[in-house]
Chain A
Amino acid sequence: MRTFDLSTTSLRDLNRALHAVEAGANDLDFEILNPRGAHAVAVGLDAPLRVVARGSVGYYCAGMNARATVIVHGSAGPGVAENIMSGEVIVKGDASQYAGATGRGGLLVIEGNASSRCGISMKGVDIVVRGRVGHMSAFMAQSGNLVICGDAGDALGDSIYEAKLFVRGAVKSLGADCIEKEMRPEHRATLAGLLARAGFDDVDPDEFRRFGSARKLYHFHIDNAETY
């Protein structure tokens, strides 16, 4: 395992080292000390690395992650795992706004709460949040699953396309074109699988409700104009 202390090593040296791991390398474990809210920590990874950050990180941690597992023992700033392609990003604390924004694959687990716009424009990523999410979460969400074990803030799923939203707690309000949908067995199976992958064994899939697109905004009509 290699350790990078960001109080003595530059961000550039850290990311360069993470990008330089050759295919077939044996030592795939990295530890980051003293991130102290630094931005762009462990971004653009594209190897089966296991990176553990001991402390809170700033904007865009694990941005565009592919194949790697990134674990943050602290909270994450705006845009954690933005545009994630594959692999796993696990935040032990809270996540700020835009968590998993535009993510296209892989899994993002937030063990605390997520702030506003969690899963905005998500395009295939799976996001599991142990706590609550803030307003405008899953705005324009295109595909993938957003699992919220706590409550959801205002305007959940506004202008949603084909993403699936599962909420265990209360939903403050739904956004335009987002409606509650029937939880069929295949949805329950998907949800159970995601909870298991996130390691949330104590959470019962039967306590969730499902939300998705009413598909009324898929084709422009002037009488819907106020909802655009």
Chain B
Amino acid sequence: MCGIVGLFLKDPALEPQLGALIAPMLASMSDRGPDSAGFAIYGAARESETKLTVQSKTPDESFGALQRGIVEAGLEARIERRETHAVVYAPAAAQAALAALIAAAPELRVMASGEAIEIYKEVGSPRDVAQRFDLAGMAGTHAIGHTRMATESAVTILGAHPFSTGPDQCLVHNGSLSNHNDLRRALRREGLRFETENDTEVAAAYLTQRMAQGRGLADALQDGLADLDGFYTFVVGARRGFAVLRDRIACKPAILAETDRYVAFGSEYRALVDLPGIEAARVWEPEPATVYAWEH
């Protein structure tokens, strides 16, 4: 039960302002989700370099230890810390050794991995979370944010959205799934790993699994209409863009706005009011059971 915002930039001139544009959108959804907030931001990617976003409750110690481990192992990787999170940049050759280092540090949690994606989330008010990570100062091509009012699973960083279960993929959700426990068990049997009891994580893993089987994002979402029961508005992030899907009943709110320069998503119109040229944008509500997708 939550608020969602998303921004996909068509005009590269806006890319330096991506964070500055979406930060107020996220803050405007505080009432819908006061418990925690998070965002995925897709930044500039370098070929053959992967980014890992890691999080720790004890960042000083954990990130220091990770840095030492990288140096000791002679890995070609660098760490950029941002509060309780850090992004580790590494070329493909260093991936396996880096993954082993992180796996050996139980206090480190991988929030996202991929060429472009970074994910940041924290417990607390969305405005504070955005400020803490200096979202407004970030650049990128597209971003998705989420504010959470916890329903059944715990108010923790791990329970916050976005959920990422595959490279450069993430999912945020407003609503409540009604068959996620059985689905989680089925996906576990097929080898997927889960960190929470959260329904959204199941949806994210479901899409990851479908895409691993070769389905495209839009097709995977179509499959979800048959397999994911309950109420949802999903916004799904991928390397080159994002997609939106509402369930067949479609009573959780969702608004899309499109101009020549961007596509914006909000749970409420309030989230969109500060965007440049919003008065002239094409604004509409996504139809039920219909996939909307934008790609660069």
Interface residue? A105 (CB, 8 A): no
Min CB distance B292 to A, Å, is 15
Query: Which single member of B269, B284, B287, B288 contacts A58 (CB below 8 Å)?
Result: B269
Q: With A78-B253, A96-B253, A96-B255 as known contacts, state yes or no: A37 contacts B285, CB within 8 Å.
A: no
Query: Which single member of A36, A77, A113, A135 contacts B288 (CB below 8 Å)?
Result: A135
Contact present for A116 and B285 (CB under 8 Å) = yes
CB-defined contacts of A77 to chain B, threshold 8 Å:
253, 268-269
Interface residue? B211 (CB, 8 A): no
Within 8 A of B (CB), among A104-154: 113, 115-117, 134-135, 153-154
Within 8 A of A (CB), among B239-296: 250-251, 253, 255, 268-273, 283-285, 287-288
Min CB distance A61 to B, Å, is 11
Min CB distance A228 to B, Å, is 16
Contact present for A135 and B250 (CB under 8 Å) = yes
Contact present for B285 and A97 (CB under 8 Å) = yes
Contact present for A134 and B270 (CB under 8 Å) = no
Contact present for B287 and A37 (CB under 8 Å) = no
Contact present for B287 and A94 (CB under 8 Å) = no
Size of B's binding interface in residues, CB under 8 A: 15
Nearest to A136 among chain B residues (CB) is B249
Query: Which single member of A75, A134, A135, A154 contacts B283 (CB below 8 Å)?
Result: A75
Tell me the bound Cα distance from A78 to B254 in angstroms.
10
CB-defined contacts of B268 to chain A, threshold 8 Å:
37, 58-59, 77
Nearest to A113 among chain B residues (CB) is B284
Query: Which single member of B271, B273, B283, B288 contacts A116 (CB below 8 Å)?
Result: B288
CB-defined contacts of A96 to chain B, threshold 8 Å:
253, 255, 269, 285
CB-defined contacts of A58 to chain B, threshold 8 Å:
268-270
CB-defined contacts of A134 to chain B, threshold 8 Å:
285, 287
Min CB distance A30 to B, Å, is 21
Tell me the bound Cα distance from A96 to B285 in angstroms.
7
Q: Render A152-185 as a binary contact track against B, CB cut-off 8 A, 1 for contact.
A: 0110000000000000000000000000000000
Tell me the bound Cα distance from A63 to B273 in angstroms.
22
CB-defined contacts of B285 to chain A, threshold 8 Å:
96-97, 115-116, 134
CB-defined contacts of B251 to chain A, threshold 8 Å:
97, 116-117
Tell me the bound Cα distance from A154 to B287 in angstroms.
10
Tell me the bound Cα distance from A77 to B266 in angstroms.
12
Tell me the bound Cα distance from A135 to B250 in angstroms.
9
Q: Interface residues, chain A, CB within 8 Å of chain B? A: 36-38, 56, 58-59, 75, 77-78, 93-94, 96-97, 113, 115-117, 134-135, 153-154
17 A-B pairs within 8 Å (CB atoms) are namely: A36-B270, A37-B268, A37-B269, A37-B271, A37-B273, A56-B273, A58-B270, A75-B269, A77-B268, A97-B251, A97-B253, A97-B285, A116-B285, A134-B285, A135-B287, A153-B287, A154-B288
